[in-house]
Each structure stands twice: as C-alpha cells, then as structure tokens.
Amino acid sequence: MQEYSVVGKRVPNVDSRVKVTGEATYVDDLVLPGMLVGKVLRSTVAHARIVSIDTSAAEKLPGVKAVVTGKDAPNVKVGWLRGSRDRLPLTRDKVRFIGEAIAAVAAMDEDTAEEALGLIKVQYEELPAVFDPVKAMKDGAPRIQDDAKNNIALERHWNYGDVEKGFRESDYVREDTFYTPSFLCGYMEPNAAVAQWDANGKLTTWVSSQAPFFLRRELSLLYSIPQGKVRVINRFVGGGFGGKCEICDVHVSASLLARKAGRPVKVVYTTEDEFAVQPRRIPSTMTLKTGVKKDGAIVAQTSSIVTDGGPYRSVGGVTIYNHGLANMIPYRIPNFKFDAFRVFTNNQVGMAKRGHGQIQMRYAVESQMDMIAEALGIDPVDIRLKNALKPGEVTVNGLRMRTSGLVEAIEGAARRSGWKQKRGKGRAQGRGIGISCGGFACGPKIASLTDSGAIIKVNEDAGIVVYTGASDIGQGSNTVVTQVVAEVLGIGPEEISVVTGDTDVTPFEPGTYGSRVSWYMCNAAIKAAEDLRRQIVEPVASKLEVKPEEIVLRNGGLYVGERRAMSFAEAVRAVQVSSEKGILIAKGTYYPPDVEWPDPANNYYGNIAGGYSFSAQIAEVEVDRETGQVKLLKVTAGDDIGYPLNEMLAEGQAEGSISMGQGETMYENIIVSNGRVMNPSLVDYKLPTVMDTPEMDVTHVITNEPGGPFGAKEVGEGFIVSIPGAIANAIHDATGVWIKELPITPEKIVKALEAKEKEGKS
Amino acid sequence: MRLPSFEYLEPKTIREACKLLAKYGPEARVLAGGTDLLPKMKSKEITPRYLIALKSIEGLDYIDYQPGKGLRIGALATLESVRNSPVVKERCPVLGETASLMASTQVRNLATVAGNICNAVPSADMAPPLMVLGAKLRVSSPGKGRLAPIQDFFQGPGQTALGAGEIVTEIVVPNPLPKSGSVYLKHTVRQAMDLALLGAATMVALDGKGACKDVRIALATAAPTPIRALRAEEVLRGKVIDDALLAEASAAAVEEARPRSSVRASESYRRKLVGVLVSRGIAQAMSRARAAGR
Ligand SMILES: Cc1cc2nc3c(=O)[nH]c(=O)nc-3n(C[C@H](O)[C@H](O)[C@H](O)COP(=O)(O)OP(=O)(O)OC[C@H]3O[C@@H](n4cnc5c(N)ncnc54)[C@H](O)[C@@H]3O)c2cc1C
C-alpha cells in the first residue's frame, strides 16, 4: 500500500469537536430578528380536486402574520431535473397524495401557527385513487397526471446481445420476483429552512441540504430571479442519505411566507411531516430471469421492474436507470434485457436513498444467485468468483472497469469469516452464513453540469483556505479535502481551513449524492493545490537557481534533493512580497475525462463514471426457528474503494452502511395503506439500535484507481448495496427458506417455515 | 407536534392530589414520568386541562422490603431504579429483569412502574410479572383507601378499575411462594427500544416431589388488556410437568388468548408466539423453582 504523509491517515473529522460539544448549529438553532415560525397544512386525502380553501379564520387569528396557498406561489413547476419539473411547490387545484402541501402559515410562535392550520378549511371533491403501480398501468385506471398515459411516468428499455438465444444456450434458467418497500432516509436533523428577502429582492435561505446549488437553481426558476439573487446557505447538515437533494415544500413555504410577511420565516419539519413528505426509497417490484451454464457462468438475464414513484417524477429516470446499473455491476452478463417503469400512484413520492435504485436490485440478484447456486450444487462463493468482473472488462452497456478488486475482496472475506467451515453446517443450531456482492459508480453522470470546482486562497501567514461547494452532510468531505490539499502542498492538514455551504461564496458543485463528492471535489481541489504549488515554486526556483521540477514540497518545507531550502511559510512570504503575483489565488476544476452520458438513442450505452467500487460481504445470523427472530451476529466484508483517503472515515461509511442495510433488510418498512402511512413514528418504524449492531470486520483491497484522487474510489454506497443479499442468504442457510420481500421479519420467516413444513408433509 | 396548553398543579400530599383529581374529574390527569401521557397529549389523543403532578409529593419513589409486608414499590419509583435495586434483585428478580427489557435508559429514568400499570395498554410489560407475583395496588382516594388486586385492575385498553379521585400510591408484591421461580419473556423485533409483540410471565411453584404446586401465567399484547391464561394454568396445576403437558398447556394458552392483527403483527403470528413463549417460560420458571432454596 502506497504511503502518503496525510492522505490515508486517520485524521479526525474536522467537524467532530464542535459537534460533540454542541457548538455546531443547525437550521433550527438560527434566530433572526423579527423571525416568524411557519407551519405547513397537508392534504388528508389521497386524490382530490380542491374545491375551495378558506383561510379567513386563520388570517384573523391574533399572531398570524401570513397565510399562503398555491395561488400565492408563482405558477411554475419545480423538480430535480429538466425532465421532471412536474410539481407545483404548493398544489393549486388538486392533491395527489396524503401529505401534499396545500397551504402554510407564519405566526409569532409555533403554537399559534399550529392553531391557525386548524382554522383553514379545505373542501375536497374526492377522485378515484390508485395505490398499486401495476393496477395504475392498466387501462381505465384513474389518471394522476394529464401528460402520462396509463400512469407511466417514465420508462427505460435496454437490449444487449440476444437474451432468448442466451436462455436457449443456458443449462439452467429460473425466474423470480422480488419486492422491496419504501424506506425512510432516517437522518437526525429534520428538513428545515429559514428564508429572508432583503429590500433589493434578494432571497437568502438557510437550509439543511445535500445540493444547495440545485436548490438555488429551482428557487431562481420559481421566482423568476437570477441565481445571483438567491443565496443558499448550508449550516451543519444533520444527515441526508438522499432525502435532502430535492427542493421541497419546506423551502418553498419558508420563502413564500417570508415574502408575504416581509419578515424572516423559519419552517422545521416535524417527524410527522417527515413521514408525510420526506423523499424515501422507491418501492420496487423486480422480476429477474437468469440463465446460467452448469458451472454457474451467467449467459443471459432479463430484468423487469415496476417502481412506485408516487404522483410526481421527482428524480426522474435516475432511479430506474440505477436498477439496470445494479444489474450490470459486479457480474458479467453477456446478454441483457432491461424493461423499467416508473409509475404514478397516489402514494408518497419516491426518491433517492443511499444506494439509490441499486440496493433493491442487488438484493434481488444476490438472492437469486444463491437459488441458482443451490440448484446447481455450487458453493455461493465460487459462483460469485466465476462471474465477478475483472480489471479491464467492459460491461455490455459500456461501463469500463479499469480496476477491480472484487475477486480479492470475495476471497479475503471468505477466508476471514471461516466460510468453508461454516457454510451449510449450522442449520441444526439455527446458524447461517451468506454472501453477497455489489459495486457502485463513482459519481455517475446524470445531469448536464456535473463538474466540480475549488478555489484556494493563501492568508498573509501562509495559512490555506479552500473554497468548495461540497456539502459535508456528515460523511467528512470537509476533512478529506484538507488531507488532499495538505498532501499536495506538503503541509499539515491543520494549516488548512475549508469554506463550504454558501452559494454566494464557493464555486459550483452539484451536490452530495451519487457517491461523487470525494472523486469530483477532491480532484478539483488537487488541481487547485497543484496550481498553487506552481505559483509558489516557480518564482522560488528561479531565486534558488534550480528547475521547478527539482523542488519537492514535504514536511512543511521546500526541498531540493535532501536539502531543506526553506519552509513553506518562508516560500509563501517570499512570493507575497516579491512581485505583482503576491496575492496567491489558485483554482481547479474537474470533470472526468472519459465519462459519457448514457445515450438514449443507443440503448443507454455509455461509461457513466470514471471508476467503480466493489464490495463483498458475508453475514452470519442466528435464527430462532420458533419465533422467527433473527440476530445478525457478524459481518465480514472486503471492499475495493481504490485507496482509503481517510481510514477512519472509510470505516465509518462501512459500518454505517452495514447498520442502515441491516435496518432495511430486517426491520424497516414504511407501511402504506390506501395512501396513508400507517406507522408514522419511530416506535413503529424501526431503525436498528446499537444493541442490534453486529460485530464488523472490514478490510480494503487497494487498487489505486488511476482517475481517482490519490487512487480513491467512492466509499459511501457501494457497501450498503450488498448487505440485504448477505443477510437474506444467511437466513436461508440457517432455515432453508427464501423470503423474496423486504424486510425479512420474524413473522415472514415463521410463515415460510410453516408453509415449508406443510409442503414436506403433503 | 406541540404539547397543548394545560395547567400544572403541584399538590403537596396524596390527599390533596386525590381531592384535585376528584374536583376536576375527566378534565384532569395524574402525571408521573409523563412518558405515556405527554406523547398522547402531543398527538391530541387526550387534551386534559389539568395535570396533577405526583412529583411535588415527597417520598413516593421508594422501593422497600419488610418481612411482613413484602416488597413495596412507591408510585414514583422509576423503571431504572427497579432495574438497579438490590432488594428487587433479591426478592423478585423478575421485576428488575422486566425493567431491563423496557424502553431505553433515558426513558426508564423518567418512567414509573405505577404509570406503566395505570396506563393500562395491552403491551404494558410490568403487568404480566406483577400479575404472576400476585401484586396488589394500594389506592388512595378522598374517602377511604383500598388495596386492589392487580388481577382485576385492567378493564379495557387504557381503562382501569380506578374510580373518580383515585390514585395508585404503591404496588405491594407479596413474598414469592416457597420453591418458586418466575420469568418474563418479551418478544420484540429489535433487541432494544421496542414494544412487545408478545410478552409472557410465568410463575411455577414446586412441591416436595417436584410436581407443580401452583402456577400462574400472564400475557401482554395477547388480548385487549394484560390477561391471565387461566385454562393453561389449570392444565399444569398439581401435575408433574413434562413435555406433553407443556404442549397441552401452551395450546390452551394459544386458545384462550385473544390477540388482534395490527401493523405490528398479525393475529396468527401472535397466537404462535403465545404458544412458544408460554412453553419456554414455564420451562425456565421450573428450572428457577428447582434452584430456589426455600
Ligand atoms: C421511547 C419509549 C419507549 C417505551 N418502551 C416501553 C416498553 O418497552 N414497555 C412498556 O411497557 N412501555 C414502554 N413505554 C411506555 C412508558 O414509558 C411506560 O408505560 C411507563 O412505565 C409509563 O410510566 P410514566 O411514569 O411515564 O407514566 P405517565 O405517562 O406519567 O402516566 C401514564 C398514565 O398513568 C396515569 N398514572 C400515572 N401514575 C399514576 C398513579 N400513581 N395513579 C393513577 N394514575 C396514574 C397517568 O395519568 C397516565 O394516564 C415506552 C415509552 C416511550 C416514550
């Protein structure tokens, strides 16, 4: 493993100190002079025409300063991408799901605002609703959006090779259908916004966002004002996991109310708001047909999915594209056909969550992989080794694997977990062990502008300030950027401070999603640091009468060979006082050189990212056959994250992924009945606790991805996608039953065991 | 969600508290730890105008044992103090074990045993063990007090046998029977911070020959209130318990349980759990009884 002086080290998160002392402030902590409190009124019916909204009683309530409805908002639709702007920020004529924002109130205090909401009278004329996406696609189903026949919001079809021929040439073919429900992103800080308009018509809004620049764009479009008149400020962000990428009614209601009241307004979601409108993981029904040779080699696969997107397009085609992407990584599939639908229903809106669109498909593929292995009598580890993508391979849809440590990751995890001794031997004791693999694109290209930029300025005392647009939502981007810049400049990370989270100040950055930040932003910051190094080294070299290439920056100094010529600070000082180039400002921008937008005219072919991470995880469980209770005992995993920029943060991502994946596999589920969330509390929506957390053993395979910053790939999502399959397969090893629907609850296990027993008897 | 406004009353004595409760009737509620009450008020399920705090009355948080009187748990004794109490551990370990299975440390530091009983939900974890131990509730009122068997206390979901102006001031747990053992088994999806999908408390007392001298079985979340499984007890009482009898008893419990389906679990799964937990619970209580000296 290559050694660097700062990169790869366990540098503590730069935000930790202020977070643990409570000094870090979040949106709800912000208080502005004259600020009002806003609350949002939500639809109580799933599909209806709004006949009338009577706000007069609310307006008369003492303490109420503004009431807004859809009519107060510009008649402009917002969304995440150009193709998905189909949503009025406050609905006008129709409601399409329970929880949709109808009106908002700003008052002197929260109690008054809440009371005022109760005084708003909405008269609905209910319309037939549809909650099952398959039924929604049938002729005659209630139509949810005027522009979508059969409620098909979006569809994607790929066809590579010849799947029918592939199935004919296969020795074994099977088809299974899997289902994954909707999951909460489950961040700690609720979505929130404070908005203020100044006398020049400039909107400033303090938010908790994964993508402040997207938010700025949408607000500028909504209010028809230039982006320069919208300033989005991110404070510390208490988690996101995909749920804080989009503009939502918290941002719109705060800014509308602030405009109408002429005073700053704060809106903070309650837990109930979060359950009503938090963008959540999209529910997915996936039918997989796979053909393999006797030795387990995949010959052909068809993957057909129907996803329940709720009544708006939201993140659009990305989710369904990602399902197909997850089919393509990490196994070789020579013939592949993909048919995917995002369907409108009157359920809540489906969006992105960590492992976006991919964790669902990995669960399906990995479960079926074990069914195939069992039918053919192949060890699950061996069938994965057989199909694993190797360095240099190009998938049928054009993804180029420059590096892949998957084989080593599988072998290492199998060895360390004692796979050979345990697999297939624990059923009598209720013990099971299962394996699953995955991978992830490092920052897929999903929008037209996905570049990153970084600016560095140098203080008079040679301290370094880095400006990036990246949102550190807890993952540690503010920390790794200090590491990569320090490494290039040969100084300590403590010499570097980072400025982020203000669209008026930093360069553009799309956002913290799609596992792109370290790859794009660090590459931009490295370029900026290299620019700065040049600006310092060139004048100093001529003074020292050496060539610039002869000067090496390390240990806080400039070295010529083994000789320390001067300290970094002395060099900076020398440049600052010597010439017209004294004000040191450097910049870097980055866009991966060989990445393509998947081409709709050509089967969505294209290398969507500069690199791909891999993971292999082995889960061990203990199952109580009588109650169905599952204990996740241990997860042994290997990953290929290229090179860990910060070992401590990489561990944090892996461990957090295991825990989050465990929750989705074993406990979590937003239960929706006729459009109503039946478990809108953290009592009945069960996130894993620390008492449920297994022992974890994670080891990296170092592959030094050529295009990655210091060889790094992504670490945030490739890990989580392989957890559900590992647990499901371990449960099968322990019990002999397959559960083809998440979450795998004790009740489902007991039912499956009972059914199996009956089958055995008859 | 916001807490609706209310008036906070701070009586200094139990008598005063009972009087206030009698005076304001259904408009008032007694406040102990508030871990059940305040969430219900936030969701507007109930909106009392007066909260009568017990915290202002001194000396209600005791856990005390006296040979003649048994174990006494004051109305303000918290779950956490019961969990950590040496006398509970010595006299009725099942109560401390049950407290350990409830909520989280933060909630247990507020929540009271009496509040858990008076809240009277089907899933109240403290109810089954107190039922198998034959606990009684000391009830004060503006008039004469009384000692109410916990057996007859639960009248429906959230409904108790408390009359107007009545407050539970302590829970009295008699000395366990000689050569007896009790356990509480709680089935949850998660391993912490979870409500019981099913709870089963069992008490078995053995005679000199190892036969079942007495037995009590109580269940949480198996009916609209915590219940005793009396028919299952009947199967076991006076007999030498073997596997066949255990199966018969748990089948009886499955039959007399009246669980319902909810988003948390289906009726049939809960019934299945009744059988499993009763049979496991009896077996574990027996081995405790065998190990018990007296
Ligand atoms: C996060 C969380 C987790 C939880 N986990 C569990 C769990 O695992 N198992 C479980 O069983 N419960 C659980 N609970 C529920 C609750 O904590 C317990 O029921 C607790 O014991 C209630 O006690 P309290 O003192 O808070 O009662 P309070 O909320 O103060 O009162 C509850 C009810 O009883 C009445 N009352 C209280 N004391 C008296 C009295 N002395 N006389 C007459 N009436 C009285 C009140 O008026 C009210 O109606 C949980 C609650 C939360 C918030």
All domains in chain A, ordered by first residue: 16-22+451-590 (3.30.365.10), 31-127+188-239+244-277 (3.90.1170.50), 280-445+599-761 (3.30.365.10)
Query: Quick one: B270 and B235 in the same domain?
Result: yes
Q: Give the residue-averaged pLDDT of A645-673.
A: 97
Structure-token pair, residue A90: 């406050």
Cα(A433)–Cα(A620) distance, rounded to whole angstroms?
Answer: 4
Query: Quick one: B116 and B12 in the same domain?
Result: no
Percent of chain A with pLDDT over 70: 100
- Domain CATH code at residue B200: 3.30.390.50
pTM of whole model > 0.90? yes
Which helix (H) or strand (E) is A118 found in, with range?
helix A110-119
> Would the CB atoms of B263 and A678 count as touching at under 8 Å?
yes
Whole-number pLDDT of residue A760 = 83
Question: Is the pLDDT reported for residue A445 higher than 90?
Answer: no
Chain B residue with minimum CA distance to A271: B1
Number of helices and strands in chain A (H, E): 20, 30
B29 within ligand 1 shell (Cβ under 6 A): yes
B112 within ligand 1 shell (Cβ under 6 A): yes
Which residue minimizes the CA distance to atom 41 of ligand 1?
B168
Rounded to the nearest angstrom, the minimum Cα separation between A147 and chain B is: 36
DSSP label at A145? S
Q: Give the residue-averaged pLDDT of A448-460.
A: 93
| Beta bridge partners of residue A353, listed in sequence order | none
Strand stretches in A406-538, DSSP E: 431-441, 452-458, 464-468, 496-499
Cα(A230)–Cα(A298) distance, rounded to whole angstroms?
Answer: 52
Whole-number pLDDT of residue A235 = 86
**Domain membership flag for residue B1:** no
From the CA atom positions of chain B, what is the Rg in Å? 19
Question: Is the pLDDT reported for residue B243 higher than 70?
Answer: yes
Cα(A612)–Cα(A719) distance, rounded to whole angstroms?
Answer: 12
Instruction: Please state the φ and ψ torsions of residue A212, each to the nearest 5 degrees.
Output: -60, -30
Whole-number pLDDT of residue A302 = 98
Nearest to A207 by CA among A246, A262, A256, A251: A251
Per-residue pLDDT band for A188 (boundaries 50, 70, 90) equals very high
Per-residue pLDDT band for A83 (boundaries 50, 70, 90) equals confident
B36 within ligand 1 shell (Cβ under 6 A): yes
DSSP-derived 3-state class of residue A393: coil
CA neighbours within 13 Å on the CB side: how many for A227? 12
CB atoms within 10 A of CB A427: 15
**Domain membership flag for residue B77:** yes
Best residue among B1, B18, B35 to mutate for probing ligand 1, ranked by most atoms within 8 Å of CB: B35
Cα(A63)–Cα(A368) distance, rounded to whole angstroms?
Answer: 60
Within 266-285 of B, beta carbons closer than 8 Å to A belong to 266, 269, 272-273, 276-277
Exposed (0-12), middle (13-18) or buried (19+): which is A146, by Cβ within 10 Å?
Answer: exposed
Contact B240, B212 (CB under 8 A): yes
Amino acid, res. B200: A
- Give CA separation, B157 vs A689, B199, B256, in Å: 29, 16, 18
First vs last C-alpha separation in chain A = 59
Per-residue pLDDT band for A1 (boundaries 50, 70, 90) equals low
Exposed (0-12), middle (13-18) or buried (19+): which is A150, by Cβ within 10 Å?
Answer: middle
Whole-number pLDDT of residue A578 = 83
Query: Quick one: B78 and B23 in the same domain?
Result: no
Q: Give the residue-averaged pLDDT of B246-250.
A: 98
Query: Quick one: B126 and B149 in the same domain?
Result: yes
Cα(A673)–Cα(A636) distance, rounded to whole angstroms?
Answer: 37
Cα(A391)–Cα(A298) distance, rounded to whole angstroms?
Answer: 18
First vs last C-alpha separation in chain B = 53
Cα(A71)–Cα(B188) distance, rounded to whole angstroms?
Answer: 48
Question: Is the pLDDT reported for residue B94 higher than 80?
Answer: yes
**Domain membership flag for residue B282:** yes
Amino acid, res. A730: A
Question: Is the pLDDT reported for residue B294 higher than 60?
Answer: no
Question: Is the pLDDT reported for residue A473 higher than 60?
Answer: yes
Q: Give the residue-averaged pLDDT of A575-590.
A: 91
Contact A203, A227 (CB under 8 A): no
Per-residue pLDDT band for A422 (boundaries 50, 70, 90) equals very high
**Domain membership flag for residue B188:** yes
pLDDT in tens, B98-107: 999 999 999 9
Nearest to A205 by CA among A381, A375, A27: A27
B166 within ligand 1 shell (Cβ under 6 A): no
- Give CA separation, A8 vs A652, A712, B270, in Å: 14, 10, 51
Query: Quick one: B75 and B160 in the same domain?
Result: yes
Query: Quick one: B206 and B272 in the same domain?
Result: yes
Decide which of B138, B173, B208 is a domain's last residue. B173
**Domain membership flag for residue B2:** no
> Would the CB atoms of B1 and A691 count as touching at under 8 Å?
no
Decide which of B107, B140, B173 is a domain's last residue. B173
Cα(A102)–Cα(A47) distance, rounded to whole angstroms?
Answer: 13
DSSP label at A720? G
- List the domain range (segments joined by +) for residue B44: 7-53
Interface test with A, best of B185, B264, B267 (most A CBs within 10 A): B264
Query: Quick one: B128 and B109 in the same domain?
Result: yes
Contact A102, A39 (CB under 8 A): no
**Domain membership flag for residue B118:** yes
Decide which of B173, B195, B225 is a domain's last residue. B173
Exposed (0-12), middle (13-18) or buried (19+): which is B23, by Cβ within 10 Å?
Answer: middle
Helix B267-291 vs helix A746-761: crossing angle, to nearest 10: 100
Q: Give the residue-averaged pLDDT of B120-139.
A: 98
Cα(A302)–Cα(A290) distance, rounded to whole angstroms?
Answer: 7
Query: Quick one: B167 and B111 in the same domain?
Result: yes
DSSP-derived 3-state class of residue A60: helix
Cα(A75)–Cα(A556) distance, rounded to whole angstroms?
Answer: 57
Query: Quick one: B213 and B129 in the same domain?
Result: no
Q: Which of A626, A684, A692 sits opposite B276 (nearest CB)?
A: A626
Q: Which of A110, A627, A678 sits opposite B276 (nearest CB)?
A: A627
Per-residue pLDDT band for B83 (boundaries 50, 70, 90) equals very high
- Domain CATH code at residue B163: 3.30.465.10
Pairing of strands B63-66, B154-156: unpaired
CB atoms within 10 A of CB A416: 14
Best residue among B116, B121, B153, B219 to mutate for probing ligand 1, ranked by most atoms within 8 Å of CB: B116
b/e map A251-267, b = 16+ CB within 10 Å: bbbbbbbbbbbebbbbb
pLDDT in tens, A10-57: 999 999 999 999 999 999 999 999 999 999 999 999 999 999 999 999
Amino acid, res. B33: G
pLDDT in tens, B187-218: 999 999 999 999 999 999 999 999 999 999 99
Nearest to B198 by CA among B134, B118, B280: B280
Per-residue pLDDT band for A762 (boundaries 50, 70, 90) equals low
Cα(A677)–Cα(A48) distance, rounded to whole angstroms?
Answer: 18
Rounded to the nearest angstrom, the minimum Cα separation between A414 and chain B is: 28
Percent of chain A with pLDDT over 90: 94
Q: Which of A270, A667, A747 sits opposite B266 (nearest CB)?
A: A747
Query: Quick one: B210 and B154 in the same domain?
Result: no
Rounded (5°) CA angle B67-B69-B75: 125
CA neighbours within 13 Å on the CB side: how many for A702? 11
Query: Quick one: B203 and B140 in the same domain?
Result: no
Query: Quick one: B215 and B248 in the same domain?
Result: yes
> Would the CB atoms of B192 and A690 count as touching at under 8 Å?
yes
Whole-number pLDDT of residue A490 = 98
Helix A647-666 vs helix A723-735: crossing angle, to nearest 10: 50
DSSP-derived 3-state class of residue A161: coil
Structurally, chain B folds into a number of domains equal to 3
